[in-house]
C-alpha cells in the first residue's frame, strides 16, 4: 500500500475521519413490534368496516372482509405478522359477528362453518402472500448485490485512483450485506483502516482482529476467541502490494444471522481490490 494512498485517506483516529460511503437500506422494514402492531390495526379497521356493512350482507359473507388484513400483513411483513392477523381476524369475527354476540362461544352451525372457512382461507392466503413476498425480496437482494459489484467493477475498468476504488469496495460490501464494512491496509508496518461504509465503528478490538487475519492469512470471525471482543468478520486479501488488504463486515450489527457463504462476495470484492492494486503498480 503506497504512502500517498494512506495520506489521502486520513489518520486512523477511531474511524472518525475515515472516508465513509453512507448506505441506508431502502427496503428496511418496520421494527418487528411495529409490524405486529400494524397488523392488529389492520384487523381493527376490517372489523370497523364489517360493522358498517353488517346490515347489508349476511354475516357469513363478512368473513371475506377479514381476509384483507391477513393478505396485507403477509404481503408487507411476512409470516409472523400475517399469522397474528389470521388469529385476530378469526377471534374478531367470532366475538362480534356470531351468536351469541360478544362471546367466543358459537351457537350456530352455519357460523361455526363460516368461522372455520375464514380460518382456512386466511391461512392459505397468508402462506401464499408471504411466500411471494419472500421470493420478491430475494430477487431484489440479488439485483442489488449485482448492481453493487457492477459499480465497483466499472470503477476498476476505468482505472480510477486507488483511494476511490478502496472506498467503493467498502461501499459495495456494505450494500451487498446491508451491514457496516471496513477495509484495512498496512503502511509503514502499521495496519490502518483506510475506508469504511455503513457507519462502521473501528475499535482497538477490530484493529487487533484485522491484524490477526493479516498475519495468519485466515478469516478472523467476530466474537470468537481470540477475537471475542470484535464485532467484525475479517478476510485477508492478497495483492501485488506488500501485505495486501484486510476487509471486514459487521454482521452482528444487522440483527440477522450471518449470511450463508459470505466468502463468495468477499472474494469477488477482494479480487477487484487486488486487480486495482496491480494495475496501479
Per-residue confidence of the chain (281 residues) as pLDDT tens digits? 444 444 444 443 333 334 444 444 444 568 889 999 999 999 999 999 999 988 887 767 788 899 999 989 988 888 889 999 999 999 999 899 888 888 888 888 887 888 888 888 888 888 888 888 889 888 998 999 999 999 999 999 998 998 999 999 999 999 999 999 999 998 777 899 999 999 999 999 999 999 999 989 999 999 898 998 999 999 998 765 556 899 999 998 777 778 888 999 999 998 998 888 776 65
What is the C-alpha separation between 161 and 145, in angstroms, rounded?
23
Q: What is the pLDDT of residue 242?
A: 55
Q: Where are the alpha helices (DSSP H) in the chain?
A: 3-9, 32-53, 63-76, 79-97, 109-157, 162-177, 204-216, 263-279
- The cell for 280 is 496501479
Q: What is the pLDDT of residue 187?
A: 77
Q: How far apart are the first and last CA of the chain?
A: 10
| Contact of 69 with 85, CB cutoff 8 Å | yes
Domain ranges of the chain: 3-23+178-279, 32-138
DSSP character string of 149-162: HHHHHHHHHTT--H
Q: What is the pLDDT of residue 56?
A: 80
| Contact of 244 with 214, CB cutoff 8 Å | yes
Q: What is the pLDDT of residue 280?
A: 61
This prediction's pTM: 0.65
What is the C-alpha separation between 230 and 203, in angstroms, rounded?
8
- Residue 254: DSSP 8-state: G
Please name the residue that has the C-alpha cell 492494486.
Answer: 277
What is the C-alpha separation between 156 and 223, in angstroms, rounded?
33
- The cell for 24 is 441506508
What is the C-alpha separation between 201 and 118, in angstroms, rounded?
50
Correct CATH for 3-23+178-279 of 3.40.50.300, 1.20.810.10, 3.60.10.10, 3.30.450.40: 3.30.450.40
Q: What is the pLDDT of residue 21?
A: 47
What is the C-alpha separation between 243 and 194, in angstroms, rounded?
14
What is the C-alpha separation between 273 and 239, in angstroms, rounded?
8
| Contact of 167 with 21, CB cutoff 8 Å | yes
Amino acid at each position: 500500500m503506497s504512502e500517498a494512498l494512506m495520506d489521502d485517506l486520513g489518520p486512523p483516529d477511531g474511524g472518525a475521519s475515515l472516508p465513509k460511503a453512507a448506505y441506508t437500506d431502502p427496503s428496511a422494514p418496520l421494527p418487528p413490534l411495529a409490524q405486529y402492531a400494524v397488523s392488529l390495526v389492520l384487523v381493527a379497521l376490517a372489523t370497523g368496516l364489517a360493522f358498517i356493512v353488517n346490515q347489508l350482507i349476511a354475516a357469513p359473507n363478512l368473513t371475506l372482509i377479514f381476509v384483507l388484513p391477513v393478505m396485507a400483513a403477509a404481503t408487507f411483513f411476512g409470516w409472523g405478522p400475517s399469522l397474528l392477523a389470521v388469529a385476530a381476524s378469526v377471534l374478531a369475527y367470532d366475538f362480534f359477528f356470531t351468536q351469541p354476540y360478544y362471546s367466543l362461544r358459537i351457537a350456530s352451525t352455519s357460523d361455526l362453518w363460516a368461522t372455520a372457512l375464514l380460518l382456512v382461507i386466511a391461512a392459505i392466503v397468508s402462506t401464499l402472500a408471504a411466500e411471494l413476498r419472500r421470493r420478491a425480496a430475494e430477487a431484489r437482494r440479488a439485483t442489488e448485490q449485482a448492481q453493487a459489484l457492477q459499480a465497483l467493477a466499472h470503477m476498476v475498468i476505468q482505472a480510477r485512483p486507488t483511494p476511490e476504488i478502496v472506498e467503493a469496495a467498502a461501499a459495495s460490501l456494505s450494500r451487498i450485506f446491508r451491514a457496516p464494512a471496513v477495509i484495512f491496509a498496512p503502511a509503514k508496518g502499521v495496519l490502518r483502516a483506510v475506508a469504511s461504509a455503513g457507519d462502521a465503528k473501528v475499535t482497538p478490538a477490530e484493529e487487533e482482529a484485522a491484524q490477526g487475519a493479516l498475519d495468519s492469512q485466515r478469516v478472523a470471525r467476530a466474537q470468537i476467541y481470540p477475537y471475542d471482543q470484535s464485532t467484525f468478520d475479517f478476510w485477508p486479501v492478497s495483492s501485488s502490494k506488500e501485505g495486501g488488504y484486510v476487509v471486514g463486515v459487521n454482521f452482528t450489527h444487522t440483527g440477522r444471522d450471518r449470511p450463508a457463504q459470505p466468502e463468495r462476495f468477499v472474494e469477488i470484492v477482494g479480487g477487484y481490490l487486488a486487480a486495482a492494486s496491480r494495475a496501479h503498480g
